[in-house]
Structure 1
Amino acid sequence: MTMDRRTILKNLGVAGAVGALAGCASVQEDNSSDSSGDDTTDGSDGSDSSDESEESDPSGTGTVWYSLSEAEKERRESTIEEFVEETGYDVNNSDISDMQKKTTSAIPAGEGPHTFEWAHDWVGDYTQREFVVDQSDQVEVDLDQFTEAAADAVQFDGKLVGLPHDSETVALVYNTDIVDEAPETVSDMVSVMEEHHDPDNDQYGLGYPFNDPYFLSPWLQAFDGYLFDVEADDQLGVAKEETIRGAEFAVENFAPYMPNDPKYEPQASAFAEGNAAFAINGPWYLSTLNDNDINYEVAKLPTPEGGDPTPYTGITMWYFATGMEDGGDDAQAAREFIEWYVTNEDLMLQNAEDQGAIPVLTELVEGDDLPDSVQGFSAAVQQGVPMPSDPKMNEVWDPVKNALTKLFNGDAEPEPAMNQAAEEIRSNWD
């Protein structure tokens, strides 16, 4: 099973966010009754212009799926309303609680969307399984306007299977009511965490989802280790000495200063409720902090002695699902929505302000209009490496997650835990 970060976020229940709900939040309801003829002008004013208007108005309804936290969902719905008002196209938009489960069942059955939003790590798997299609001959967007990493992420085997709109990674977030400035080294960070860690009084040095390889990737890969590298002689690096060293480093330097449950919800809640000095989290987290009126700043990850933090980075994109193949009015409506969304600079800047989104439009990335918090995440992106999109990576996430959980709970030492994870991954590959 691939890493399902968005699904985790939808169900996290962090303070300030209502439990996420699956379902439809449509401009045109998914189960709406037949409305044929609703767009017909009766011509009672005697004007001959109505027929011309009907012929020139866009037709078609694009089906759009996404999976967002409650804090993000309202903004998305208003964005879609804006598109509909500006263009005249219709959109059926649904918020999906488990995007992987839904897409892998609905798309093969011919019941999927025209497009869905997710990080780029599904590109290889979904291309090979023919869940997504090449639209390089249909789109009218020049990939040169995106960062090189973003343009590369939406292509696989020469096929353009989506368009990018944001990048993401994890960075250091610190409470400015507790911490004066961002630490430059992990050693400096540990000194601050020691000062403020008081679990008996519900105060912690750090809130950090420790059981997720995506979140722990900065340290697992900090000392020349890696989880998976399709270009390496040994593609699987989970049990390499350098990767194990990174796991040991994380256990020694971070685990002692965290709440005693490594999962996302309790870790994210500690900082979101003002009870932790630091958090390590992604840009999606900022909307929760803003809702909770937490005073914070974002900075790149501190440096470990003898290494460099190397987090996984992701490109959030709109995939071209197989529903785009018909080439009809509905597919055109979805394609117009995607192209409008990913090239809308005003929208990208607003998302950066409201939600901490990191644009991938080169003009915005290289400009100085982004808020400070997003600049901090942008600096963290520069520290990182893209998540592998090769289908073999799907078998890596869960075994490493299980190993990290054991390490956090003190149920195993790093070397045997990571060796066991590697054995399980290789067995699944076979």
Structure 2
Amino acid sequence: MKRREILKRLAGTTAVGALAGCVGVSETDSTSTPEEGGSDGSDESDGSEETTTQQETGASVPAGTFKLWHQRAEAEKKALEQNAEAFSSETKHTADPAEIADLRKKTTSAIPAGQGASMFDWAHDWTGEYYQNGFLSDQSENLDVDLSVYTEPAQKAVQFDGATLALPYAAETVGLIYNKDLVDEPPETVAEMKAIMEEHHDPDNGKYGLSYPLNAYFMSAWPHAFGGYYFDESNVELGLSNEATLEGFQFVLDNFVPFQPKDTGYGPQASVFLEGNAPFAINGPWFLGDVKSNEIDAGIARLPSPEGDAEPKPYTTVKQLYFTTRVDDDEAKAAATRAFAEWYTTSTEVLSNNAEEFGYIPVYKELANSGDLPAAVEGFSKSVKLGTPIPSHPKMGDVWGPLEDAFNSVKNGDAELKAAFEKAEQNIRSNWE
């Protein structure tokens, strides 16, 4: 049976049972560390990969075993394990998920040593670095799934230098979260939002108009809205000090900072919304678990538009299943690894469950465009459709810190806008050299 036929059959099976839980927390919350050795996820056993199995159609296909490393929180981990069991039962391939506490450390040490898993689960921002370091395998010529079934940002995220290095299953970005006890309808424009923030802003009594952590990721929508950019990975070019980018940073300073608590770090900003002391929060799906725990009746909408034709275009992060160079060890392992990735990223049942239980935003077009997403996910999905993936070029990692230092120096009155970001660009280029 060809992998495409397997995908169709699996799409009709019950992949995941009912799961208790709430919207997912950050993948970095995992705490257990598997010890070294083949049985704990640090390497893959090839013992069963030379056998074959008869599918119901009578067609003979290799029965492969592959290891999938991940760093998921507990409820998401259980869902993945159930997915793997369903896949293994239906195809006779064996998918073996293994939780890794420090996934970056493990992948960067094991893979170059010819050890480790043939697949791992992480956001797309490692793509360029890992490919250039020889950790990933280009599967462009081997996949039965056409990338056109995924949203355009997701298609871009899994590729680097023309190579297809992963398959995408979900996206994350920031959106507008509003307290329904304070706001009847979400604003469509920033001007409408400001009117509501002004009504509720009373810092002397612990009330604020907005909860909004001001780091580079969270702020990205506004420089992009005016045509600016942080880093152009196609030309390896910085854009922090160009006119459009500066206009976006100034927009944040003028329209949002006056309505926030003075400390714009994540914790202080999150708390004012969770305590019911702000009508709005700009945050991501990872925040919804805390919102639910604090019994805030919240709605989610796309970010409001600035004046004119500008649209907010926040950075998006794409969750994906990476193919490592271990996938090339033998044909059976490769077949199993690809089959799981193709199924997991296109099964509407798996993806719908992930959206419902964990707030994952689907990037599979059939589901993303269906109108059948949970209300919370639908709001974030609209922001994802406007957004742009974080550059996966290795040099992007040097941009975040200097950018935030420059913005904070301007916000605190210690520097002028253009001068601060010109200095940031100098620091970044110095780091590159």
TM bracket (short chain): 0.7 to 0.9
1:106-149 Cα distance to aligned partner (Å, 9 max, x none):
32233432212223233222222111111234333232322333
**Number of the residue aligned with 2:208:** 204
Which of 295, 313, 321 matches 2:324? 321
Which of 403, 406, 409 matches 1:406? 409
Contact 1:63 1:113 in 2 (8 A): yes
Tell me how far apart the structure 2 counterparts of residues 273 and 85 of structure 1 sit (CA, whole Å). 46
CA RMSD between the two structures: 3.5
Structure-2 change in CA distance of 1:270 and 1:78 (3 Å): farther
Which of 299, 302, 306 matches 1:300? 302
Identity of aligned residues (%): 48
**Number of the residue aligned with 1:166:** 170
**Number of the residue aligned with 1:359:** 362
Which of 364, 369, 372 matches 2:372? 369
1:370-399 Cα distance to aligned partner (Å, 9 max, x none):
222222222212322232233332322222
Tell me how far apart the structure 2 counterparts of residues 57 and 145 of structure 1 sit (CA, whole Å). 25
CA displacement at 1:408 relative to structure 2 = 4.5
Contact 2:41 2:117 in 1 (8 A): no
1:389-425 Cα distance to aligned partner (Å, 9 max, x none):
3333232222213323434555444333212211111
**Number of the residue aligned with 1:112:** 116
Tell me how far apart the structure 2 counterparts of residues 291 and 415 of structure 1 sit (CA, whole Å). 42
Residues 1:216 and 2:219 aligned together: yes
CA displacement at 1:236 relative to structure 2 = 1.0
**Number of the residue aligned with 1:21:** 31
- Quick one: which amino acid aligns to residue 182 of structure 2? I
Which of 178, 181, 189 matches 1:177? 181
Tell me how far apart the structure 1 counterparts of residues 55 and 314 of structure 2 sit (CA, whole Å). 55
**Number of the residue aligned with 2:263:** 261
Tell me how far apart the structure 1 counterparts of residues 39 and 274 of structure 2 sit (CA, whole Å). 34
Contact 1:221 1:309 in 2 (8 A): yes
Instruction: Please list, as runs of the form range in 1=range in 2, the aligned pairs for 1:86-101 lying within 5 A after superposition.
Output: 86-101=90-105
**Number of the residue aligned with 1:348:** 351
CA displacement at 1:87 relative to structure 2 = 4.1
Contact 2:80 2:97 in 1 (8 A): no
Structure-2 change in CA distance of 1:255 and 1:318 (3 Å): same
Tell me how far apart the structure 1 counterparts of residues 403 and 32 of structure 2 sit (CA, whole Å). 28
CA displacement at 1:258 relative to structure 2 = 2.7
- Quick one: which amino acid aligns to residue 194 of structure 1? E
Structure-2 change in CA distance of 1:183 and 1:111 (3 Å): same
Q: What SS class does the counterpart of residue 209 from structure 2 fall into?
A: strand
Q: How many residues matched?
A: 399
Tell me how far apart the structure 1 counterparts of residues 225 and 112 of structure 2 sit (CA, whole Å). 40
In structure 1, stretches of 5+ residues that fail to align are 1-7, 12-18, 39-49
CA displacement at 1:183 relative to structure 2 = 1.2
Contact 1:72 1:287 in 2 (8 A): no
Report the TM-score, using the length of structure 2 for normalisation. Answer: 0.80
Tell me how far apart the structure 2 counterparts of residues 74 and 412 of structure 1 sit (CA, whole Å). 49
1:262-296 Cα distance to aligned partner (Å, 9 max, x none):
33333334434444321112233334434444321
CA displacement at 1:315 relative to structure 2 = 2.5
Instruction: Please list, as runs of the form range in 1=range in 2, the aligned pairs for 1:24-173 lying within 5 A after superposition.
Output: 30=40, 60-69=64-73, 72-173=76-177
CA displacement at 1:426 relative to structure 2 = 1.6
CA displacement at 1:85 relative to structure 2 = 4.4
Tell me how far apart the structure 2 counterparts of residues 167 and 134 of structure 1 sit (CA, whole Å). 22
Q: What SS class does the counterpart of residue 204 from structure 1 fall into?
A: coil
